[in-house]
Every structure is written in C-alpha cells, then in structure tokens.
Structure 1
C-alpha cells in the first residue's frame, strides 16, 4: 500500500462549498451535534425540507467543511459536542460569511432571522493552524476545538475566555480580474524564482493545488511549468496561464462552480468542464472523497505498522532460533565426551587424574544430554512462532487482492488481523485508537464466491476467520482445503448445502493455492479433508487445526485468480 495524499480544501473549494451552504441551510435551526474524532464535529441543521448535516474538521492534513449524508450516532457525549448542543439549541443559523481570500468562515446564530446575533461559530481552515471556535455576543471564546498555548504560538495564543482575534492578514496582492497581462506577469517575475514560489508569494489565496490547476490541464504539463524559473517560461505559456487565471477569477466572481475528477489534481471545482462531470452538490461529493481518502490513509498507516511489527518479530524469532541451533550443535558433542570418558576408564591402569577427568566428562555429557531435550523444545517453539508470523504476513499480503471490497471492509479485516498479531505474536495491549468495538462472530466480512454448481466457497482472511469457517460454522458434508505444509488461507466448499461436482472441488483447490504462500508456483499440492475430520490444536493461534486422513489434489493459482476477479 502506498502513501495516500489528500487534496487540501483550498480557498476555491471553500468558496464553492460555502456558496452551496448559503443556499441550502440558511436559514435553518440548529438541532444536533456529535464529535466523531478529536478533530471533527458533525452538526445537524433543520431546514423547511429536511435535516441537513455538516461535517467540520480541523485535522491538519484534511481541514474541511462539507455537507454529509445523515451519519450514524457517534460521539454525542463528547465535551465539545455537549457544549455546542447546549449553547446553540433553539438558535437559528441566519448567515454564513466568508470574505475575500481569507479561509475563515463565520456561522452566525440568532433567535430568529432579523434578530441580534447571539453566537458565532468561527471555522479557520489553515492547515495545521485550523480550528473551530464558538463566540458569544462580546466575541469571547466559549469553547473551541483546540487550545493554542503561548508555547505553540506567541503570535496568537487562544483559549476559553479569551477575546477572539482574527488570524494575521494575508500577505501579497489581491487577485484582480481587471489586471492587465503585463502587470500580472511583471508582478510574478519581480523576484525571480520558480513559478510556484513566485505566484504564491505574489498573490493571496494561491495554494499548491490551485497553482497546478492554473498552470496546465494535466499533471505532467502543470509540473513541468511550475518548477521552471519564471525567467525561462515562454511568452505563449504565460498567455495560456493568464487566460486560466482570469477564468478562475471570473468563476469565483460569478459563483460558477462545478466539480471534475479529471485534471492535474484529484478534483477541480472551477473551469470549463464537460456537462457530464457537472453536479449540483459539490459538498456531498467532496464528503465522499475525503471520507475515502482518510480511510485509505488509516488503512495505509495500520498496514505499514503491522508489516513492520511482523518483520521485527520474525527477525527476533530467527535470531533466537539460530542461537538455539548453535547450542544444539555444541551439545551434540556429548556422545564424543562419553566415548572419551569410556576410553580413559578402559585403560589398564588409569591414573587418579585420568579417573577424575573421565568422571567430569561423564558429568558434563549427562548435563548436555538433559539440556538437549529442552533446547529441542525451544527450537520447535521458535519454528512454530516463525510459521505463525508467516501466516499473518500472508494474510496482510492478501488484503491487497481484495479489490472488490470497499475500504470499510478492508479496515475491519486489517484491524482483526492487527488484534490477532498484538494478542498472539507481539503480545501488546491493543491500541484503543483502532480497536474494534466488539468481536462479533459474523460472516459479513468473509470472502465468498459461488462455485460452478452454485455452492458457496468461503475463504478466510485471517486466523479468526479461518477458525470461523472451518470450526465454528462447519457443517457435516463440507469440504476443507489447504495448501499442504505451506502457510495459506482455509478454503471451505459448503457442499453440505447441495450436490457438488469435480469443477467445484477443482476451483476450491485452485483458490487454496492462490491464497497461499505458494501463489507463484504453477502447481500447488492441496490437501482436501471432510470438515468433520478437523480438530483445533489447543494453545495455538486461532484456526490452527490438525486433520485425519485427506486427499491430495493439485491447485493452479493462475486459474483461480482469473475466476476470482471475474466474480
């Protein structure tokens, strides 16, 4: 899994969303508040038509204001959510204000439209300086998303009870649609630097995202321009950029916003877009974008940490195994010691010194022989631990093959695997940040495909799922498949539900080969066992089983991959 960058909600996107919100939720009555994490609140506003939900986040890498679909109940008891609900209940949202090129939005509340403003909710979307603050009539801070101490900002510390002060004014010139080409170009070129640095330092409201969008219509084209020194850019390129610049300013002036996911950045909310990519609600589309990106980032974070934990644990077990193997090699010399002692005692007239040496050799040989059994057990233990870790590595690798799954299902699977690793491999306390609420025994997240005869074939994605399909939910008549003597997923053909044929059995064997460590081999030996012949091995990882009997088949991973991705 690669690092997933998130496109920041810049000034243009913010203006597009605020423009929509003014039409959709002004006026409305505040009704609900909940906090879904330490940096995000969700607010419900009752309009004449329905309850509209807004998500506001001051998360450093993805600060945002977006409209969202009705969310699940979550975090209503957080201190901030309680304060917002208590202080804003029965008040009406009568105005949303955002001026110029500032990324500060003011939500103004009064008892009803036309009455005096009683509360202001200030949202500052400024990267790591983002925040949310609720003010009273005297513009005193009642509550806020995060306290800013003097050690964090000597320029603008702020906390509960302080009088609100606006962020420092923006530096640079205000972009102006009427500015001539020569004036605009000369201003940017005044201090020679790369285009991206010069335009950012010259004009207000210019984000890295907007710089790319103005510079070109494709990522490669835009990147080749923004990294050039302004003195090297040709006149015809300047003219194209100026034309895009004026188009951007005109769209802002006329509130002409659309959204497209084609262009030099993840999305663009201005410009001459094709009709098929236009939309009515940019905020809702952006909420889906941000939720997916944040989920991907969380997945990547857990995946990388889990991969590193498994790697460290495996290296540690290999190191310990080598130490024990070295010990057993030295201990194996006890037979030679016994022979040497016997040889000394078999002399016709051994001296006292030789007798004492022989006794010491026998004693040392006896000690080494006793230690041998203990060391062999340790070697067996470390080999089993390495095997368990390789199983977990395989399951982690398999997550990349779950292309049909949405990110929520992937997150559930990787959290399950993470908890297994922390409980059985790394022996850590489960981090509550990503801990699942309940360990439900359900099959909603089990990979399932249909066999040629219409029977279910289940595939485990981690040790608990292996145990679930192979032991807890087994039925007499089901068939169990597993790569022989190789780490892999359990595969269960639910043949107890109907009549199966050779094609079903072959597909199950192919799947067992594909979801195993031997995926790259042309043919993989697969053991097929009636599921009632399985028995859990106590004291081992969940899903660790032994079996009686069985038949060896040959699985072909390449064939299974084609079938799996067709489904």
Structure 2
C-alpha cells in the first residue's frame, strides 16, 4: 500500500528523535529515486532513507545495506557539495500531509553558516526530493517539473519553492468535532468509506475501510471514530502494525486492522522504520533487479527462442531423413528394372521385392534423366540423408545443451541480488558470445568477481550456493575439496550447492538443509517434493568445452525435499 500521512507521521517521530541535532556524515544515491543519509546523531550513527519512488515513496531509518553505483549521480554530488557536515535543526511535517521538511545548517563556499532545506514530497506519482537554499529557492531536485508537465506548479532550479496545493478536503487534525460530523452527513446514501476518502484528507483506503468497520457503519459513530483517530495522531500514540497473511506481509498501518478477520494476522512491530524496512525490502530488491536486468532477460530470451526454433527445424529434417533406407530400396528396384525404363518416363511400375507380399510399386522418375541417372539419384538422396542424420544428431545434441544453458542463465538472473550479480552474468554472456561488445570496451571494463551466497547449517557446517554459472564453476571445480558434498536439483535448472564437510561425514540434518537450499534456489522452488541429487565433489566433472555451470556426475544419491524459503532466511550469513 502507499504510505499515508499518519504512517509517515509515525516514521517522522522516530526520525526526529534519532537525527535532530545530528550531522550528515555521508550521502549516497543507490538508485535513481532513493537517497541515503549517514547521520552522526546524538545517540549514535543512523541511516536515513529518503525515497521519491513513485510506487512507494517514504522516509524512515534503515538497517539495510544498499549497493551503490560506481559513479555517484549528479543529484548525489550536489547534495554532497551542499549538505555534507550539515547539522539537522528540525524535522517538520505539515498536518495530515505526506511531506517532510528537513531544516539544516551548513557551510557555504566561503565557510559561512548557511541555511538549507531538504524537502521530501512522498505523494505517489508526483513524489520528489527537493534541495532549497536559505531563501526558499530551489537549488535542484530529483525530478524536475516544467510547464509542459504541470501548469499549476513548476519545480525547477531558481524558482521559489511552493508546497503542493492542499486538497479540497477537511483536515481531521485541525477540524472541530462539529465540522467532522457535518462532513460525514450522507443524505445521498453513499458508501461510508467512499465518503471518508472524498471529504477527509490524509486517509488511505485501508484506514477508511477500517474506521467504517470499527464504527459499524457511517453517521455519528463514524465521526467519533474519526475524532479518536485524530486524537491518537495529535498525542503521538501511533503504533506500527504489519498485516501478515500466509507468512507474507501484505499491508501495514498505524492502528490495529481487524476488518479481515482471523485469516490475516495484525502483527505489532517495534518501530515504523523496522516495519517499512521489512515490508519493502524484498519488493524493492526484486524490482531493482528486474529493471536493471531487463536487457539481459531480453537478450537471453531472444537467444533461447532462436535456439528453440532451430531445434524444431532440425528435428523436422531428422524425421525426413528417417526414411533414407526406402530411398536405397527404390534405387535397387530401379537398377534391376533398367531394361523396361526409357528416358522421358515420369514413373515406372515394378515389383517391390522388399515387400513381404511382393506387391508392385509406382516409382516417380525425372523425365529429363536417363534410367541409370534416375537410379543414381535415389542412391545420392540416400547417402545425403544418411550424412544429414549423422550431422543433425550432433547438432541437435549441441542445440539441446545450448537451450539448457540459456534456461539456466534466465534462472540465474532471477537469483541476482544486485548490480554486481548482473554484471557478472553480463561478463559470462559476453565471454560466451551472446552479448557483443567492442573489444576496446571489454578491455577497459573491470571484471567483477562476485561471491556465492553463504549459509550455516543448524550443526554449524558451511553451505555455499552459487548465484550464477560462473560462481557455480568456481565453487564446484576450483574451491570445493573432493570430500565436500555437491548438491543440485535433478533435471531442473538451479544453483550448485556445496556442503563443506571439513573431511568428515556430514550429519543428516546438515545434508537435509543443504538439499532444501538446492531446491529453493532452483526452478523447483514452488514444488513440494523436489528431487535433489548429492554426491562427493570427486564424482563431479566438467566436460571439455562445456558451457559455464555445465557438469556431469556419477555415483550419486537422491533426496526428495520441500523447498523452504524461511530456512534460507534463517541460515543465511550476511
């Protein structure tokens, strides 16, 4: 759900306590729409996330480490120039508005004290992060808005900043009880939640439905519920609640949500920042990887589809070559009947002595060829088909390996956790010829060597999981010892998993957990009983000339396990 004004107020309370009076130490911009401030607060160092992402704008303290680009964007450089070392004087939020205004004291180019403001407008598609000078002029912003985009309000460097126009609705924090009751009068019989959203500002659809649910409908009870909500916000009694359904977070709010009944757990969280961090973590990682990996997915999908079409054509050609023996037989029949054939004949009828019943057969002829040439033509077609079958068999096997490899790359892209993982996959595709780049560009580019995912079993054994084919090769053929255990899903694309045994026999629990990880990081993630093969590394070999990540193995055993994402979270070593 989008962050409403009251959840933002709860997060602002936490931000205010942690950063007011502190100084901005470092500034990063991990993505186009996000800025992270490292602040030396009065009670310790904290990270403050300011997101102007149109899909989920927000502000809160964060514990998550985000991958930063190699070169900081221009807006990040501007913020570093003006705000590094700045002291945070105040954090303000207009009543019932999704807007945070940071008042700062910094040093200008001459070393004199200068006022600065950093304004986050967390307002959906028009979300923005704006830097102002001491006079309220816009220095710059994440998203510039000119006259073509908005005639009512431009956001451009050099203009005086104006807050977004307030909606023509009643503010529950400043309105009197009488005004609230009058606003909720419903002579036309509208649905109460729609009436709330039309006439009261600051509410999300979820909160509007909950107020109606708790009030038992509209009218005076709904007005009282709205008054109680306003008092809760004014007295800073906001509490973060995460809505969990089937162990997946589906929504959040600042008050208990009871409308969904027992099927949805309303879980109280320690802080708004912790709640927002957890709620958006997996969503944002998946979205960032999806956006940055779109070019890879497109290239690999195109190559895979091209390989599939080629395989289909080759299989058809192989089927056509399957009747080559009949062509040789027809050549033999023509050779034995040359005496009844003449040049110019379009066909000849002769006894088929290859038929058990000795039936006659009509054999098509080329009227431009002599009888001997017609017979030779069938022998030539036989030899051509025989050679084609041999070549097509080799090509089909090669094509199937290519298809398997490309499918594994697509699976690896889905496992990527950041730009470094995607860059490693780009390198692999460039090395294998699927991505073409000029030789000079490849020479200048720094090669990236990522690290596999690391886990610890319940018994303390180390488990490594490759995130792409290059890491799979490194793990299996370079790093693992012959006595360590190699695991991989059977006939399903997935990661290579190494259970490091330290030369001893592994316990059953560690083997089971490693197998569950192999199933989770594979195409069988959604299955129930996924077959996972496991064997000592000494039985795993990489064929000469094989694509990255492709191996063969012998003397293995198979375990059937349920993939477990919660196990992966619990055992993961950060």
Which residue of 42, 55, 62 maps to 2:36?
42
| Inter-partner Cα distance in structure 2 for 1:101 and 1:278 | 22
Structure 1 residue 59: deviation in Å? Answer: 0.6
2:240, 2:477 → 1: CA distance?
Answer: 50
Question: For residues 135 and 530 of structure 2, what CA distance do their matches in structure 1 show?
Answer: 76
Give a deviation string over 1:420-472, Cα, whole Å, max 9, x none: 99569993579xxxxxx9743645x1556478xx8767666654454334311
Supply the distance in 1 between the matched residues of 2:324 and 2:544 (Cα, whole angstroms). 35
5 Å-filtered alignment, 1:38-117, equals 38-69=32-63, 74=68, 77-89=72-84, 91-110=86-105
CA 1:514–1:278 in structure 2 vs 1: closer, same or farther (change >3 Å)?
closer
1:304-319 equivalences under 5 Å are 317-319=307-309
2:394 maps to which residue? 377
In structure 1, the partner of 2:352 is none
- Residue by residue, what CA displacement relative to the aligned partner does 1:138-175 show, whole Å, maximum 9, x if unpaired? 43211111111333223323222223233223212233
CA distance in 2: counterparts of 1:294 and 1:212, whole angstroms? 27
Written as runs of structure 1 = structure 2, the 5 A alignment for 1:196-235 is 196-216=193-213
Q: Is the 8 Å Cα contact of residues 483 and 512 (structure 1) preserved in structure 2? A: no
Q: Secondary structure, in 3 states, of the residue corresponding to 1:166?
A: coil
Correspondence for 2:342: 351
Give the number of equivalent residue pairs.
515
1:79 Cα deviation from its structure 2 partner: 1.9
Kindly report which structure 2 residues correspond to 1:207-356, keeping only aligned pairs within 5 A, or say none: 207-216=204-213, 238-261=219-242, 266-270=251-255, 277=268, 279=270, 282-283=272-273, 285-295=275-285, 297-298=287-288, 317-347=307-337, 349=339, 350-352=341-343, 353-356=370-373
1:557 — aligned with what?
A: 560
Secondary structure in structure 1 of the residue aligned to 2:78: helix
Residue equivalent to 1:405: none
- Offset, 1:306: 8.8
Corresponding residue SS for 2:159 = coil
- CA-to-aligned-CA distance 1:252-300 (integer Å, 9 cap, x gap): 2223222232599733325799xx9475x54455344444542354467
Q: Which shifted more, 94-103 or 417-426?
A: 417-426
Q: CA contact under 8 A between 2:131 and 2:139: conserved in structure 1?
A: yes
Is 1:119 the counterpart of 2:116? The answer is yes
Mapped to 2, the partners of 1:269 and 1:463 lie a distance apart of 44
Structure 1 vs Structure 2 CA RMSD = 4.9
Equivalent residue for 2:347?
Answer: none
What is the Cα deviation at residue 38 of structure 1?
A: 0.9
Partner of 1:194: 191
* Cα distance, 1:28 vs structure 2: 4.0
Secondary structure of the corresponding residue to residue 161 of structure 1: coil
- Structure 1 residue 183, shift from structure 2 partner: 2.3
Please show how residues 146-157 of structure 1 align to structure 2 within 5 Å.
146-157=143-154
- Post-superposition CA distance 1:279-336 (Å, at most 9, x none): 5x54455344444542354467789999998887666544432321221222233333
Question: Residues 471-490 of structure 1 correspond to what in structure 2 (within 5 A)?
Answer: 471-478=477-484, 480=486
Structure 1 residues 135 and 533: alpha-carbon distance in aligned structure 2, compared to 1, 3 A threshold: closer
What does the per-residue CA deviation read over 1:92-144, in whole Å, with 9 as the maximum and x for residues that have no partner?
433333323333333233469xx997333222221110112222244321111
Whole-angstrom CA distance in 1 between matches of 2:417 and 2:500: 24
How high is the TM-score relative to the length of structure 2?
0.71
1:13 and 2:7 equivalent?
yes
5+ long unaligned stretches in structure 2: 259-266, 344-369, 438-445
Match of 1:427 in 2: 434
Q: 1:467 to 1:256 in 2, by over 3 A?
A: same
Q: Which moved more, 1:334-343 or 1:59-68?
A: 334-343
Task: For residues 36-70 of structure 1, give each alpha carbon's deviation from its aligned partner in whole angstroms, at most 9, with x where no partner exists.
Answer: 21111123444444444422111101111213359
Q: Per-residue CA shift, 1:179-201, capped at 9, x if unaligned? A: 27752431xx2555433332211
Per the TM alignment, residue 518 of structure 1 is displaced from its structure 2 partner at its CA by: 9.2
Q: Distance in 2 between matches of 1:487 and 1:171?
A: 55
Give secondary structure in 2 for the equivalent of 1:216: helix
